[in-house]
Chain A
Amino acid sequence: MMMQETMVRVKLADYDSLPVGAGQAVTVNGENIVLFRISNGEVKAVENRSPHRKGGTLADALVSGKFIYCPVYDLKISLEDGKVQAPDTGEVKTYHVEVIENEVYITI
């Protein structure tokens, strides 16, 4: 029988508690995720792992609009689709985020 993966919606934080301009690292059942509340008010979530082959984390990235710059290797990464911008390559996983009445949920 094939295993069926189930998606769950998890509450991560109060929206108000998320700072603008700095990532918040969250571990959900061992999965490392980082949340960014960006300047237009949206919350984005990506896996907390630098796509650079040498590794690293993204929580302390510099945030600019819908992009972040990897703090260790300066890769520019889209928070929309997790893609590393040219001339570099790579990708990180993105998560679906919902904000419902001041509560931030992620589907995992």
Chain B
Amino acid sequence: MKKKLVMIGNGMAGVRTIEELLKLQPDGYEITIFGDEPHPNYNRIMLSTVLQGDKSIEDIIMNDWEWYKSNGIQLYTGEAVVEIDKQKNQVISDQGRVVDYDELIIATGSSSFILPVPGSDKKGVVGFRDIHDCEMMIKDSEQYKKAAVIGGGLLGLEAARGLLNLGMEVDVIHLMPHLMERQLDETASGMLRKELENQGMNFLLEKQTVEISGEERVTGLRFSDGSEIEADLVVMAVGIRPNVQLAKDSGIYVNRGIVVNDYLETDVPNIYAVGECAEHREIVYGLVAPLYEQGKVLAANLAGIPTNPYEGTICGTQLKVSGCDLFSAGEIGDDEGTKSIKVHNEFDGIYKKIVIRDNRIAGIVLYGDTKDSNRLFRMLTKREDISGMTSVSILETSGCCGGGEAGDVAAMADDELVCGCNGVTKGTIVDAIRTNELTTVDEVGGCTNAGRSCGRCKSLISDILAYTLGDQYDTSAKKAGICGCTTLSKDEIVAEIRSKGLTNVREVMNVLGWSQEEGCSKCRPAINYYLGMINFEGYKDERDSRLVNEKMHANIQKDGTYSVVPRMYGGVTTAADLKKIAEVAEKYDVPLVKLTGGQRIGLFGVNKEDLPAMWEDLGMPSGYAYGKTLRTVKTCVGEKFCRFGTQDSMGLGIELEKKFERLDTPHKVKMGVSACPRNCAESGIKDIGFVGVDGGWEIYIGGNGGTDLRAADLLDTVKTKEEALEITGAYLQYYRETAAYLERTAPWLERMGLEHVKEVLADENMRKQLNDRLDKTLERYNEPWQEAISDNGIKEKYYQVRKVTVE
């Protein structure tokens, strides 16, 4: 029979312990968790980003309801444990629930310390500790204007920034003469104060609050020097107090926190404490990194796996307020035993101070430029001997050799910590990248937990990705969900489609837990595209997931009419086709006939119910003027007529257009073929352009003549038309496979890097594979206008309009 594990508290430290335990021993325990908040486990340290408006509460949920369910954990939320019966090994909740335990973890965390001054129980006085506090501040900001934050530390300043964002006037009251005095020296603190004042905060330093005035609700504060200010909302951010009452009442030894040994054991057998409620070697931690380290040791202990004892943590901190880059760790003051290296560049607003004791870094204060924080913090925690180093080499990463971040990563030992919060080493990350083929910082987080807490190490993880993957690393891949229906990024969705073998849009949304069951106008077309790209043989396109123009195979105009543009390969037509177009325009009374920007004739203002008949009368293929696909291949007249033309531009243009027409691409693709460097077809601003030179073609890629002008880059020079077609195929397929839906080639190329794309396309084997997949994809397309003409179902579903007359 499984042993029973009960945990009191459902916060970050406790749940992390359970996560670690499940990794080590998935079926070891029957687990029950009590949480007195109504939510599943969320990232408390990200609350300030919720208050500051950067994230929503849903965004900071770390383990959703499904996680508890799928791990077989019995979770009671909104229910507090009120008694621990050590004799019977039972806990009893405020709802009278009695649960037996073999092992009990107390992870009750801490509460905001509310100053015991008269009036602190008035309405409008809040701590800054949980979602409820956060929601209350947001709500109050709609009604009230003046906020006072008591406490000029990390939490107080983050809260103050949030209140400013909510449109309140903010006074920050601090007992000490300078802000964040535990993390910053006077200089850095002064710089921070200046920046925050510029952002609109008002500081009242060396003020001791003695009373909170008001009737039922707070109206102001009074200080020990007799001065007063007005305030409609008071946020107490003066510290935290471990929640130890339950432990105390149960006869567990409590000092400031619940006293634990190096294995997180309390003085009562089978009862442990972890997190902010625990006191280890006389220290109660209020930052996440040590709590996670404790969780790891406790999990191993519970799983019966030998582990190193927890011996305490040195913490690094940073402020989550935009415009204030600061990092601090270890000792910040000087004394007789210390020497420090200081750099103060007032002009650029940069200050760095490294405190050195016994030839080792003992403290770090960085303001304005924190890029070296990871490296210096590593040197600090590893107690690296720096006697051989110059002050410049300590302070600067790149030094004179341009080593930079990558060099820094290369020099890191595998057992060096990257994510202090989650105790993840470089070796673990590199392994995860290689084993699971990870490509983004967030995927690394998903696999290893690195970067999922304070996020400070994300840039280092990014460097490790770059170092491990080399050119494969896509530095700008953003982890933003593709729409509001999912938090998954494009890369994650593509990876899931591949690994789970998903085959239709609905299935993707079901399996990957979409919040809106049938998706939206952003994700549906994107998923349809990714599915078609991945399942290249015989994918059944989902027309109802297409954007309107592609669904209708004609462009919708603002009055609800459509435009029709027949294909005109390479911009070349015939007298017969011109006549046909003219006849159709007359027959259907087309209000506008216009040459388009892509060398074709457009018929504008067509009623949707007339579309199929018009297409039939025209008898020409669809010009895809509406598609995320190959639009046109613009050509000049070339060697057949032009006295300068050195190549057959029309011939190559027509061949390209015929080969690649109808192909789905992440965004529209345009090509140009010019027969000489005079470039009459404007090939230098096309997604792919060809310029005829004596004896061959220059191929340009990534150009754009649209909103963001971009000149194309020279990819290669080839001798024959066949080579040009082969490179074009490989280029288009590589773009199809690696771009995000709706990403055009110009930004894609900048993201991927020209050199990288060049390398891929220079590899003969790669070119062949890409072309093979492309050719198979091309086989599945039909001419859409023809399809609509011959299929009554399509005609009725998409092009029919009914009229009903009531008598």
Contacts and interface: CB of A to CB of B under 8 A. Distances in A.
A64 B518 contact: yes
B803 A27 contact: yes
A64 B516 contact: yes
A63 B802 CA distance: 19
A3 to B, nearest CB: 18
Contact of B524 (A8, A19, A54, A64): A64
Interface in B577-617: 608
- Closest 9 A/B residue pairs (Cβ): A57-B560, A71-B548, A69-B521, A21-B544, A64-B518, A19-B797, A25-B801, A26-B802, A27-B803
Contacts of B797: 19, 22
Given A56-B560, A64-B519, A72-B558, A29 B545 contact: no
Contacts of A65: 516-518
A51 to B, nearest CB: 14
Interface in A25-49: 25-29, 39
B558 A56 contact: yes
A85 to B, nearest CB: 10
A62 B519 CA distance: 10
B800 to A, nearest CB: 7
A48 B762 CA distance: 53
B222 interface: no
Given A22-B551, A27-B804, A55-B560, 13 more contacts: A26-B802, A27-B801, A27-B802, A29-B804, A29-B806, A54-B558, A55-B559, A59-B560, A61-B548, A64-B521, A69-B520, A71-B548, A108-B806
A76 B556 contact: no
Given A17-B796, A39-B518, A60-B551, A22 B556 contact: no
Nearest to A10: B806
A72 B547 CA distance: 10
Given A26-B803, A28-B806, A62 B545 contact: yes
A26 to B, nearest CB: 5
A10 B548 CA distance: 29
A74 B547 CA distance: 10
Nearest to A48: B560
22 contacts: A10-B806, A11-B804, A17-B796, A22-B797, A26-B801, A27-B802, A27-B803, A29-B804, A54-B558, A55-B560, A56-B559, A59-B801, A62-B524, A62-B545, A62-B548, A62-B551, A63-B518, A64-B517, A64-B519, A64-B520, A64-B521, A76-B520
Which of A13, A25, A63, A64 has the most C-beta atoms of chain B within 10 angstroms of its own C-beta? A64
A12 interface: yes
Contacts of A76: 520-521
Contacts of A17: 796
B138 interface: no
Nearest to B562: A60
Nearest to B548: A71
Contacts of A94: none
Given A24-B800, A27-B804, A72 B556 contact: yes
Contacts of A61: 548
Interface string B507-545: 000000000111111001000000000000000000011
Contacts of B560: 55-57, 59, 72
B552 interface: yes
A69 B520 CA distance: 8
B67 interface: no
B143 interface: no
Interface of B: 516-521, 524, 544-545, 547-548, 551-552, 556, 558-560, 608, 796-798, 800-806
B552 A55 contact: no
A60 B521 CA distance: 12
B627 to A, nearest CB: 15
A103 to B, nearest CB: 12
B604 to A, nearest CB: 15
Nearest to A49: B560
A68 to B, nearest CB: 9
Contact of B608 (A60, A62, A64): A60
Contacts of A22: 544, 551, 797-798
B216 to A, nearest CB: 34
Contacts of A12: 802, 804
Contacts of B558: 54-56, 72
Which of A12, A28, A60 has the most C-beta atoms of chain B within 10 angstroms of its own C-beta? A60
Contacts of A29: 804-806
A39 B802 CA distance: 22
A54 B801 CA distance: 22
Given A54-B558, A64-B516, A26 B524 contact: no
B255 to A, nearest CB: 51
A80 B732 CA distance: 43
A21 B546 CA distance: 11
Contacts of A60: 548, 551-552, 556, 608, 798
Contacts of A25: 800-802
Which of B521, B552, B558, B806 has the most C-beta atoms of chain A within 10 angstroms of its own C-beta? B521
A28 B804 contact: yes
A25 B521 CA distance: 20
Contacts of B798: 22, 60
Contacts of B524: 62, 64
Nearest to A60: B548
Contacts of B801: 25-27, 59
A83 to B, nearest CB: 16
Contacts of B804: 10-12, 26-29
A56 B548 CA distance: 13
B566 to A, nearest CB: 21
B86 to A, nearest CB: 53
A74 B523 CA distance: 13
Nearest to B551: A60
A19 B524 CA distance: 19
Contacts of B516: 64-65, 67
B486 to A, nearest CB: 13
Contacts of B608: 59-60
A12 B551 CA distance: 24
A54 B556 CA distance: 13
B485 to A, nearest CB: 9
Contacts of B796: 17, 19
Contacts of B803: 26-27
Nearest to B521: A69
Which of B544, B545, B548, B560 has the most C-beta atoms of chain A within 10 angstroms of its own C-beta? B560
Contacts of A54: 558
A21 B551 CA distance: 11
Nearest to B560: A57
B743 to A, nearest CB: 18
A108 B801 CA distance: 18
Contacts of B521: 62, 64, 69, 74, 76
B517 A24 contact: no
A71 B556 contact: yes
B528 to A, nearest CB: 11
A36 B720 CA distance: 53
A40 B524 CA distance: 18
Interface in A65-94: 65, 67, 69, 71-72, 74, 76
Contacts of B547: 62
Contacts of B552: 60
A10 B805 CA distance: 9
A25 B547 CA distance: 18
Contacts of B517: 64-65
A9 B556 CA distance: 32
A16 to B, nearest CB: 12
A39 B519 CA distance: 13
A74 B796 CA distance: 24
Nearest to A26: B802
A84 to B, nearest CB: 13
Nearest to A29: B806
A8 B551 contact: no
Nearest to A64: B518
B794 to A, nearest CB: 10
